[in-house]
Chains A and B, each alone.
Chain A
Amino acid sequence: MKLPLPKIFHNMPTLPVLTNLSGLLPPSPHSVLFCLLLNRLLQNQHADFSPLQGKSLCLHSQDIKLSLFLGSNQKKLIPLGFRHDATLTISANLRDFIRLALRQEDPDTLFFSRRLSMEGDTELGLWFKNLLDTIDPSQLTALRSH
């Protein structure tokens, strides 16, 4: 026999509402983890982080309403707290971000088909894209095996 739900649960948020709520959470834990991961992947690349110094980069996942905020010092990427005025915001759905990370999709391809958008400092976006492209595939493989 199926019991009726108590009244209090009748207005329980559906999944889209829950994902909207996650936009209110402090982004820092995600940003911290993301920075740790990227810094590890980039550690042998002799990367120049100066283009991001004093600026902020927001990666925004449109479907799950999650934003990561990154900055940099001279040596590495650093996580930033939420900010309205990121120097550059790159937006896409989570699935496409994952396809980018796995090197299954080219960002220009996503951009042409309007699945990825970029607002703000375009040059910073190019720098970031090219920074990620320096990561050797063997690094990604090593990471997977961990």
Chain B
Amino acid sequence: MPPDTIPELVCPAGSLTALKTAVDHGADCVYIGFRDNTNARNFAGLNFDRAAAHEGLRYAHAAGKQVFVALNTNPPDAGWPRWQEAVDLAADLGADAVILSDPGLMQYAAQRHPHLRLHLSVQGSATNYEAINFYRQQFGVRRAVLPRVLSLAQVEHVRQHTEVDIEIFGFGSLCVMVEGRCALSSYVTGDSPNTSGVCSPARAVHWKQTPAGLESRLNEVLIDRYAAHENASYPTLCKGRFNVGEASYYAIEEPASLNTLELIPEFFRIGISAIKIEGRQRSPAYVAQVTRVWRQAIDACRANRNHYSIKPVWMDTLNSVAEGQQHTLGAYHRPWK
């Protein structure tokens, strides 16, 4: 049995402030994006221009931490130069890795910047070791972020059959998790994460308080109506309540957050290289709260894996920032698998 791997804690940052917050609160790595549709969190005013990315890298490296740049949307033919320039910029700035999903962009990065470390994005949608090993052979990919569709046993199986580092999601908002293959929002807005870096572009989102409740609409399509006591969710199509037959319910998925604190000892045992926290769209306050909890939890497991237990305050903190009414182990927990 191989010795325990201590997973790196990979935290999100949508701003320089969030990056510094993540570093200060115990992240080993921070992932960021540039200010355009080259990444899957393309929101107004979010993300890093050259100067902010430069300062972020300086700050993280001074603390001995790493910065990854997500360039994980699919470049259209007409937009190819923008994606190329983004790879060049990441390499030029000294990013520790780029997180890519498009094979063409991987080839460009591998040829143009042979020393730039490549990570396969969750948007690459590689769920088996053959696919991951293919990316390694073709482009020298060093790490793969697994889509949130595999059970823990399946994650372990993948891990055992590849030399590529495995990064998994540990915490954050869930969607229907057909990552890299989801075009659901395109039916309503014409945009999808793969093409525009957003599934619910803010220009198409409208909230309105009505006598019947708070309505969320996406391009005028009613997504949900919340009663006064109900928690609200991100206005994505997959998390809406719809009339099906006689009933009105979450016909695709009920909003929920992934929370895998209890699986940390298993992640150590399996040999997971990194645990990723979702939420580049969130503010520094979220980054601080979540990073602090996960740092403490990983350190507690490292100190004594056999006596690791979850502190109630960790759960309380994570539940307080979570989307939806519930948290879940997601696909990791499938006892019938």
- Given A51-B44, A130-B15, A133-B17, A109–B286 Cβ distance below 8 Å? yes
Query: Can you name 9 A-B pairs with beta carbons within 8 Å?
Result: A106-B283, A107-B283, A108-B281, A109-B321, A112-B323, A122-B207, A123-B202, A126-B44, A134-B17
Interface size on B, residues (CB 8 A): 40
On whether the beta carbons of B16 and A113 are closer than 8 Å, the reply is no
Instruction: Please measure, in the bound complex, the distance between the C-alpha atom of A22 and the C-alpha atom of B214, giving whole angstroms.
Output: 27
Q: Is B137 an interface residue (CB 8 A)?
A: no
Q: Is B307 an interface residue (CB 8 A)?
A: no
On whether the beta carbons of A134 and B15 are closer than 8 Å, the reply is yes
On whether the beta carbons of A130 and B45 are closer than 8 Å, the reply is yes
On whether the beta carbons of A103 and B284 are closer than 8 Å, the reply is yes
Q: Is A136 an interface residue (CB 8 A)?
A: yes
Interface of A with B (CB < 8 Å)? 46, 48, 51, 100, 103-109, 111-114, 117-119, 122-131, 133-137
Instruction: Please measure, in the bound complex, the distance between the C-alpha atom of A34 and the C-alpha atom of B207, giving whole angstroms.
Output: 26
CB-CB contacts below 8 Å: B1-44 with A:
14-18, 20-21, 43-44
- Given A51-B44, A106-B286, A108-B283, A114–B231 Cβ distance below 8 Å? yes
On whether the beta carbons of A133 and B214 are closer than 8 Å, the reply is no
Instruction: Please measure, in the bound complex, the distance between the C-alpha atom of A51 and the C-alpha atom of B281, giving whole angstroms.
Output: 18
Kindly list chain B residues whose C-beta atoms are within 8 Å of the C-beta of A117.
207, 209, 214
Interface of chain B, main secondary structure:
mixed
Which A residue sits closest to B227, measured CB to CB? A114
Kindly list chain B residues whose C-beta atoms are within 8 Å of the C-beta of A114.
214, 226, 228, 230-232
Would you give the shortest CB distance from A94 to chain B, in whole angstroms? Answer: 17
Kindly list chain B residues whose C-beta atoms are within 8 Å of the C-beta of A105.
285
On whether the beta carbons of B45 and A126 are closer than 8 Å, the reply is yes
On whether the beta carbons of B232 and A123 are closer than 8 Å, the reply is no
On whether the beta carbons of B44 and A135 are closer than 8 Å, the reply is no
Instruction: Report the number of A-B residue pairs with Cβ-Cβ less than 8 Å.
Output: 96
Instruction: Please measure, in the bound complex, the distance between the C-alpha atom of A56 and the C-alpha atom of B24, giving whole angstroms.
Output: 36
Would you give the shortest CB distance from B58 to chain A, in whole angstroms? Answer: 14
- Given A103-B285, A114-B214, A114-B226, A130–B18 Cβ distance below 8 Å? no
Supply 14 further A-B pairs (C-beta < 8 A) apart from A106-B285, A109-B321: A51-B45, A106-B282, A106-B321, A108-B283, A108-B321, A112-B323, A119-B209, A122-B203, A122-B205, A128-B45, A134-B16, A136-B17, A136-B20, A137-B20
On whether the beta carbons of B283 and A133 are closer than 8 Å, the reply is yes
Instruction: Encode B245-286 as 1/0 by CB contact (under 8 A) with A.
Output: 000000000000000000000000000000000000111111
Instruction: Encode B219-245 as 1/0 by CB contact (under 8 A) with A.
Output: 000000010101111000000000000
Would you give the shortest CB distance from B199 to chain A, in whole angstroms? Answer: 14
Instruction: Please measure, in the bound complex, the distance between the C-alpha atom of A48 and the C-alpha atom of B49, giving whole angstroms.
Output: 12
Would you give the shortest CB distance from B210 to chain A, in whole angstroms? Answer: 11
| Nearest 9 Cβ contacts at the A-B interface | A130-B45, A123-B202, A106-B286, A127-B44, A122-B205, A127-B45, A106-B285, A133-B15, A106-B283
Q: Which of A48, A113, A125 contacts B231 (CB 8 A)?
A: A113
On whether the beta carbons of A123 and B285 are closer than 8 Å, the reply is no
Which B residue sits closest to A137, measured CB to CB? B17
Kindly list chain A residues whose C-beta atoms are within 8 Å of the C-beta of B337.
none
Q: Is B51 an interface residue (CB 8 A)?
A: yes
Which B residue sits closest to A136, measured CB to CB? B17
Scoring B15, B44, B46, B228 by chain A CB atoms within 10 A of each residue's CB, the highest score goes to B44
Kindly list chain B residues whose C-beta atoms are within 8 Å of the C-beta of A119.
207-209
Q: Is B206 an interface residue (CB 8 A)?
A: yes
Q: Which of B14, B232, B233, B324 contacts A133 (CB 8 A)?
A: B14
Kindly list chain A residues whose C-beta atoms are within 8 Å of the C-beta of B202.
122-123, 125-126
Instruction: Please measure, in the bound complex, the distance between the C-alpha atom of A113 and the C-alpha atom of B203, giving whole angstroms.
Output: 23
Q: Is B132 an interface residue (CB 8 A)?
A: no
Instruction: Please measure, in the bound complex, the distance between the C-alpha atom of A125 and the C-alpha atom of B44, giving whole angstroms.
Output: 9
Kindly list chain B residues whose C-beta atoms are within 8 Å of the C-beta of A124.
44
Kindly list chain B residues whose C-beta atoms are within 8 Å of the C-beta of A111.
232
Which A residue sits closest to B320, measured CB to CB? A109
On whether the beta carbons of A130 and B14 are closer than 8 Å, the reply is yes
On whether the beta carbons of B44 and A118 are closer than 8 Å, the reply is no
Kindly list chain A residues whose C-beta atoms are within 8 Å of the C-beta of B99.
none
- Given A104-B285, A134-B17, A126–B209 Cβ distance below 8 Å? no
Kindly list chain B residues whose C-beta atoms are within 8 Å of the C-beta of A129.
45, 283
Would you give the shortest CB distance from A67 to chain B, in whole angstroms? Answer: 16
Q: Is B288 an interface residue (CB 8 A)?
A: yes
On whether the beta carbons of B233 and A108 are closer than 8 Å, the reply is no
Which B residue sits closest to A99, measured CB to CB? B285
